[in-house]
Structure formats: C-alpha cells, structure tokens
Amino acid sequence: MLENKNILIGITGGIAAYKICTLIRLYKKSGANVRVILTPNALNFVTKLTLQTLSNNEVYVDNFDVDNFKPEHISLCDEADIFVIAPATANTISKIANGICDNLLTTTACAFNKPILLAPAMNTNMWNNNFIQENLEKLKNTGYHIVNPGTGFLACGTTGEGRMAEVEDIYDSTVKIFSRKQILKGKKILITAGGTKEMIDPVRYISNCSSGKMGIALADCAYNMGAEVTLVSTFKANKPYKNLVTESAIEMEKAVKENIVNQDCVIMAAAVADYRVKEPAKEKMKKGEKDSLTIELVKNPDILQEISGKGVLAVGFCAESENLIENAKEKIQKKGCDYLVANDISRKDIGFSSDMNEVYILDKKLNITHFERDTKQNIAQRILEKVFEQV
C-alpha cells in the first residue's frame, strides 16, 4: 500500500523524536520515499545526519534554506502524498490549529491540502488541558487524522496518558489512510447530521441532544475513503466536501430529495424531530399570566422511510433508551431501509456529544453485527466497510 508513496514526516521538539528513526525505516522497507522536516527544537533530540542517512534524502529545518526559486514549503507539499507529524507537541498542535506559521513545519502544514496525520506526545496534564483538547477537536473537524497517545511512563518521571503512540500504530494508521482512498472511489454518498430545530416562535424551538458528531465522522471517513460526499447538516461544517445547511425536518427533507439523484447511498445519521409545531408564532410569544402553555404538534415526514426502496442504498440510525435490538428490528421492517444502525442513548460513555460510540448494525434479513465501543471515527469506518462490503 505504501510502495512509491511520498511521505513527508514532521518531527517536533519532544523526547519521542528518537523513535521516528524506526518509523522512517518501516516506511522505507515498504517502498515509500521519505522526506523529513524538523522544527529547530527537534534538533535537540535527533540529528540531521541520522535522518538524512535513514531517509536517503535532504532534511529540512529552515524556511529560507532554499536552493531554488520555488519556496520549500510549497515544493514539499506538491511532492508529498501525506504529512505525518510525530511527535506532535502541544506547541505545534496549537500553532497548526490556529494558523500560525512561524517555522517550516507549521508553514508546510498550513499549505498542505492532502491527508495530515498527527501523533501527539506530551505530559499528561498538558494532554488533558482544555485548550489542547479544543485545538485537537478543531483539527479533527477539519479532517486531520489523530493517533491518540498511549498511557505509560513519561520522560517527566510520571505515569499517565500522553506517551506517543507506538511507531507500529502510526505506520498502521498511515496504511489505513491510503487503503481508505480505494474502497469508496467513484461512489457518491449523501449523509445527514445533527438535530433538527422546529420553531415555536422566532426565538424558541424544539430540538434534541444530537451533536452531529457521528454524521460528521461518517462524512469525513467516506471522503477519506474516496467517495464524493454531500453533507446535509443542521450546522455549518468547514469541510472539503459539499455541505448543505438546513434547520427543520421539512428543510432537510427538501435538501435530501433535491440531491438524491445519482447518489449511490444515503445515510440518515441526523436526529430528525418526529413532530413540529403546527403554527409557529410570527412574533415572540409573551409569558403573560398563564401558568401553562399548550402547543399543537403535527407529525414530520419520515425522510428515511420515504427514500427507502427507491433504488438508492438507504442506511438509517436508531437511537433507543431501552429494548435496543427489539426496537431496531421493528424499525428496519417498518422503514424498509437496507441497514439500520442502532445505539443505546441511555449510556453516558457513548452517544450524544461523546467522541465514542458502540453500535449494532441490522440488515433487511435481521442479521446483526456488533461494533464494540470505539471512537466515532473508527465506528464510522467500520459502518461504511460493512455497508459497502457486498456493493
């Protein structure tokens, strides 16, 4: 999978920098061409000569160390198929997440428009810092691939989370990124995400707890696997694929139906409200003297049921707080979709707003596949692989 691939490695100033020598050897043994960028501080942990010897290529540090007219960071971007930054320190992660370009590595990351894989490494307290986690979330939402650190003995003398992932895991993640590109190449997939809003008046609405993270994970993964993705979401997503923003169930229904032509698959991951207000107030409703308020609701269209059986592979989601499998079996038969993904929303460690999930996938014959608790990104990949395994 890596033969003749051009891999650009970015090494930052962390003690785990010495491990990247082994990673370079793994890439080279697989037939890849490797180039290396170092931050100035990385030179405190590993030498240019060592990296040049292992990669059989020039090693880059300085923005202005240029032998030709073409700026080095643009030249490196053009040549590379992937940019692997390992170890990725808290400092470099934060710079990239906020568009700071103060060295060759961060400048190259800013200009790079192909897959970027980060392997964070830092002290446990730094890893758990809210700002670092927010920056990592920003990068994930922009399509960055993250190999989370492990737990173990750290250079600072403590034991905890923050230790860079094993080089074999970084290598395997690189292979997966390239393998994903092949699976859905040529496929067109429409995915919905988020919880719809049903207006009561101009300032109030009925909604649900859906964060849209599962839908985004599916869209990101499908895109990285080579599909042409259309995301219909209830929020703006800054992504490299098409994004249509809707608010209510009626708006989402319209967007799905207008864009379903020529799609190979529709994945309804959005939490669409079952009911809407029959007559939303045109002006803000006043509290007045009444102790209660009655609002008449009417049923929303069932988008999944409407599109199922119409010549497009239809995948639905089922969020249940009890009798998960029994309710899922009933729903897939009622809605007529090809697959139904069921998850238990009563659990606090998965589901709404969490980065983790655990799901069961049912097909029309009521065969069940269980995906144990994992990140939503990994669950998304496994869902797509399952859905398209016979296609």
Catalytic site positions: 156
Q: Which residues contact 374 (CB under 8 A, 6 or more apart)?
A: 356, 357, 358, 382
Alpha helices for 87-129 (secondary structure H):
90-97, 104-111, 124-127
C-alpha 36/C-alpha 328 separation (Å) is 50
Where does residue 373 rank: exposed (0-12), middle (13-18), buried (19+ CB within 10 A)? middle
- Decide if 220 contacts 375 (C-beta within 8 A): no
C-alpha 229/C-alpha 242 separation (Å) is 6
SS3 call for 28? helix
CA dihedral 139, 127, 374, 315 (to 10 degrees): -20
Which residue spans within the chain are E strands per DSSP?
6-11, 33-38, 59-60, 82-88, 116-120, 145-146, 150-153, 159-163, 188-193, 198-201, 204-206, 228-233, 242-245, 265-268, 275-277, 297-299, 313-320, 339-344, 356-363, 368-375
- Decide if 20 contacts 46 (C-beta within 8 A): yes
Nearest C-alpha neighbor of 125 from the set 92, 144, 149: 149
